[in-house]
């Protein structure tokens, strides 16, 4: 039986959590968005006598993927939710304050009230394919940006050559 809810506001370098227990008591903490940070979260949950938690985070790109996998592998229930649903929930509560700590609490309250479905991680092969597609999309976007630079009539010959032939750039 799940006794606590964990709202997670994820960012590139850190994640803020809000632990909401059945009595409505809140505990907040910030962890680095790294494998050691995930382990610290696990220790923190244990310290607060949490064996199983319903953890919720917004689907905001790749920043939360490793944490979601970590929590899932630790046999916690994980929900990866649409940010628009949380925004609508915030609007229904007339919440206007926007900080990471407040967002983590809002996500925890959303999770407790809405009980979103559990997330199941895609197989490793699918995750690898998704990462490759994201990389290809980034490269195509960069290629378009470089083409735009060439069309802008770059006047410095060295800069123009570096755009036309990036392999000639000096290595660091």
- Residue 83 tokens, joined: 């940010």
Tokens for 152, please give them: 């802008």
Class of domain 4-114: alpha beta
- Mean pLDDT, range 20-24, rounded to an integer: 81
Is the predicted pLDDT of residue 1 greater than 60, yes or no?
A: no
Residue burial 95-130, b: 16+ Cβ < 10 Å; e: rest: eeeeebbbbbbbbbbbbbeeebeebeeeeeeeeeee
Measure the CA–CA gap between 107 and 160, rounded to whole angstroms.
48
Query: What predicted TM-score, i.e. pTM, was given to this entire model?
Result: 0.77
Per-residue pLDDT for 35 more than 90? yes
Neighbours of 2 (CB within 10 A): 15
Residue 153: per-residue pLDDT: 66
**Rounded distance, CA 8 to CA 2, Å?**
17
What does the domain layout of the chain look like in residue ranges? 4-114, 124-168
Mean pLDDT of 140-158: 79
Band (12; pLDDT cuts 50, 70, 90): very high
Q: C-alpha dihedral over 54, 8, 33, 48, to 10 degrees?
A: -60
Q: pLDDT band at 61, cuts 50/70/90?
A: confident
SS3 108: helix
Triad 113, 33, 48: Cα angle to 5°:
55
């Amino acid at each position: 039986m799940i006794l606590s809810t964990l709202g997670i506001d994820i960012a590139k370098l850190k994640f803020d959590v809000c632990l909401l227990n059945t009595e409505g008591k809140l505990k907040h903490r910030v962890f680095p968005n790294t494998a050691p940070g995930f382990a610290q979260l696990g220790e923190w949950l244990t310290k607060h006598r949490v064996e199983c938690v319903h953890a919720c985070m917004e689907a905001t790109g790749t920043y939360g993927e490793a944490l979601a996998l970590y929590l899932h592998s630790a046999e916690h229930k994980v929900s990866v939710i649409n940010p628009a649903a949380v925004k609508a929930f915030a609007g229904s509560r007339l919440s206007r304050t926007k900080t990471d700590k407040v967002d983590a609490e809002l996500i925890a309250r959303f999770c407790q009230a809405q009980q979103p479905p559990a997330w199941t991680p895609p197989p490793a092969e699918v995750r690898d394919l998704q990462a490759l597609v994201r990389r290809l999309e980034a490269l195509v976007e960069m290629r378009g940006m470089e083409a735009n630079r060439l069309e802008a009539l770059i006047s410095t010959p060295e800069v123009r050559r570096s755009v036309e032939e990036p392999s000639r750039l000096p290595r660091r």
